[in-house]
A and B are shown apart, each in its own frame.
Chain A
């Protein structure tokens, strides 16, 4: 047995910033809002060397807006005209089709690997331009620039900041015979550009973004099948092992809003799990909880003053809140026998949790101001809720057959999307912060 064990100890594989793989995430809207605004995104014009632009920018923008569940883009074949600039737009043609807003634009090559994306958004009813921008891009950045254009259009039309240029991270598990391969993956919010950050035959779990979106903290069992917390810089692949106390758990990391501290869970030799805060500059830890119960899954309030966590000090798991400098924990959740893994919305108003609802583990959102509680998911083993940086929707993991897939849902529960083919077990999604511009 020891030989087998030893083999598995050394069998873990390390890949730093590995190659991009085939997209595991394909998106399907499973439920939309009642009224979706009819809009038109006209295919963009192209001026440049090759026959086609390096990216179908209008296609990316249209897919983003459609995926938001708030818009119904007009199919290209139904368009009566295909203008590329505002002066070419005949508003009568769009009024007849009932279109409320129209987006036109073009991509112009300005250098060997330099492009200019120009777009305008018009209100068809008032026949006026709402926004118009010109943005530089390269082949490497053009998709991100298209997502940023979609963000600007979305914000203008809805008043809500768009998240199309954000990223998500998640863990996938592939079963290869008797061995399993865990991958920590980062992709665009729409599932494109999947990049494997880390691979191991031992478990990888609990990823967390740094507030600047440049680093990930996560738990990996790659060294002797013992848990350790790593912080990895995405751009370079460099990583630091910040906590690896032997013989006890090192888990559940989450960055403080200023990025200087990590809340984490450490075990004691008798197995008791407690919440600690680590100063990342000197790795000193301060213990916050001392109860002889499971205290874990710490999550910061957006102002950094409080930490929400799971504790079963009352019997079953419930969410508690403690000052990040220490103090007496205060119980937050009371509804039901199981409430765990709290995550705060970035605006600080809502708390997402895993809630046991009549035998089903589902994602619930508690309004911290008025105490209203809403169950947002419909599966029986849903987990790992994480808010988008605009606090308008969440991503979580649910089950499709034996595998985990990801779903997003708007905070009002009206718009739900499923991501993932179901071919690979996907779990523990975490939404990135807004990108730094």
Chain B
């Protein structure tokens, strides 16, 4: 069922991408439904026709995102970080501006940013690293107009890995922030 929905979203996203634009052209963008309500902004100018680069829940896709057309659409958003890094990669700026818009358009909506670290090193220090990552995301959302009261953070450090291998591939999947919509 979820797969069907993701597919449907990606299909719609492709259509939107094909006939819409962003005011700030962004090679990572697949659509410009920046207010997250399904409508397309004015001043359109087609910049992308390759849409449908869709976030997939199953493979934890790193470089795409789903575009929700209705508020009730379920989505899990994961932002990945480089080793020992807390700075947001440029490809996530657009994604976070969508989240920021969704939050500022829905002031009753609250999110929780769950920071994680890979499992190397000591556990409580890794809590600190996960916290730094969730704060990076929080700051970006605040800069883009979200209200502080809508965003809470928590760090699980290395306690909830997404991948269990002892290799860089697994570590990379674990250095992440998960955005959880609480309502």
Do A and B interact? yes
Return the contact of B123 from the options A247, A317, A380, A384 (Cβ within 8 A): A384
Complex Cα gap A221–B122 (Å): 18
Residues of chain B touching chain A, judged by Cβ–Cβ distance below 8 Å, are: 74-76, 119-125, 127-129, 131-132, 134-135, 138, 152-157, 159-160, 164-166, 180-183
Chain A positions within 8 Å of B120 at CB level: 361, 381
Chain B positions within 8 Å of A161 at CB level: none
Q: Is A2 a contact of B181 with CB atoms below 8 Å? A: yes
Complex Cα gap A203–B159 (Å): 6
Complex Cα gap A312–B129 (Å): 10
Complex Cα gap A296–B125 (Å): 6
Interface secondary structure of A, over-half rule: strand
Q: Is A338 a contact of B160 with CB atoms below 8 Å? A: no
Complex Cα gap A252–B75 (Å): 33
A230 CB to closest chain B CB (Å) equals 16
Given A2-B182, A203-B160, A249-B131, A226–B122 Cβ distance below 8 Å?
A: no
Complex Cα gap A126–B76 (Å): 75
Chain A positions within 8 Å of B132 at CB level: 271, 294
Q: Can you name the residue of chain B whose Cβ is closest to the Cβ of A383?
A: B122
Q: Is A1 a contact of B75 with CB atoms below 8 Å? A: yes
A309 CB to closest chain B CB (Å) equals 10
A-B contact count (CB 8 A): 100
Q: Is A221 a contact of B156 with CB atoms below 8 Å? A: yes
Q: Is A267 a contact of B166 with CB atoms below 8 Å? A: no
Chain A positions within 8 Å of B76 at CB level: 1
Q: Is A399 a contact of B166 with CB atoms below 8 Å? A: yes
Return the contact of B183 from the options A2, A297, A354, A399 (Cβ within 8 A): A2
Chain B positions within 8 Å of A221 at CB level: 156, 159
Complex Cα gap A341–B180 (Å): 30
A432 within 8 A of B: no
A378 CB to closest chain B CB (Å) equals 15
Q: Can you name the residue of chain B whose Cβ is closest to the Cβ of A227?
A: B154
Q: Is B123 a contact of A206 with CB atoms below 8 Å? A: yes
Q: Is B154 a contact of A225 with CB atoms below 8 Å? A: yes
Complex Cα gap A203–B119 (Å): 14
Given A1-B74, A1-B181, A205-B159, A247–B121 Cβ distance below 8 Å?
A: no
Q: How many residues of A contact B (CB 8 A)?
A: 41
- The A294-311 residues at the B interface (CB cut-off 8 A) are 294, 296-297, 310
Complex Cα gap A294–B121 (Å): 14
A5 within 8 A of B: yes
Complex Cα gap A310–B125 (Å): 7
Q: Is B124 a contact of A317 with CB atoms below 8 Å? A: no
Q: Is A402 a contact of B164 with CB atoms below 8 Å? A: yes
Given contacts A294-B129, A297-B124, A380-B166, 6 further A-B contacts (CB under 8 A): A1-B75, A1-B76, A247-B152, A265-B124, A271-B131, A310-B122
A428 within 8 A of B: yes
Return the contact of A361 from the options B121, B129, B134, B157 (Cβ within 8 A): B121
Would you give 26 A-B contacts (Cβ < 8 Å), ordered by A?
A: A1-B74, A1-B180, A2-B181, A2-B183, A180-B160, A203-B156, A205-B157, A247-B152, A247-B153, A251-B127, A252-B124, A271-B135, A271-B153, A294-B128, A310-B122, A310-B125, A312-B128, A340-B121, A340-B122, A341-B122, A361-B120, A381-B120, A381-B166, A383-B121, A383-B122, A383-B123
**Across chains A and B, which 4 residue pairs bring their CB atoms closest together, nearest first?**
A294-B128, A271-B135, A203-B159, A341-B122
Q: Is B122 a contact of A384 with CB atoms below 8 Å? A: yes
Return the contact of A296 from the options B74, B128, B134, B153 (Cβ within 8 A): B128
Q: Is B128 a contact of A273 with CB atoms below 8 Å? A: yes
Given A1-B181, A249-B131, A402-B166, A206–B124 Cβ distance below 8 Å?
A: yes
Per-residue 0/1 for A178-203: is the Cβ within 8 Å of any B Cβ (1 yes, 0 no)?
A: 00100000000000000000000001
Complex Cα gap A312–B183 (Å): 36
Chain A positions within 8 Å of B123 at CB level: 205-206, 341, 383-384, 427-428
Chain B positions within 8 Å of A356 at CB level: 121
Chain A positions within 8 Å of B160 at CB level: 180, 203
Complex Cα gap A312–B121 (Å): 13
Q: Can you name the residue of chain B whose Cβ is closest to the Cβ of A175?
A: B164
Given A294-B129, A381-B119, A251–B124 Cβ distance below 8 Å?
A: yes
Chain A positions within 8 Å of B152 at CB level: 246-247
Complex Cα gap A206–B157 (Å): 12
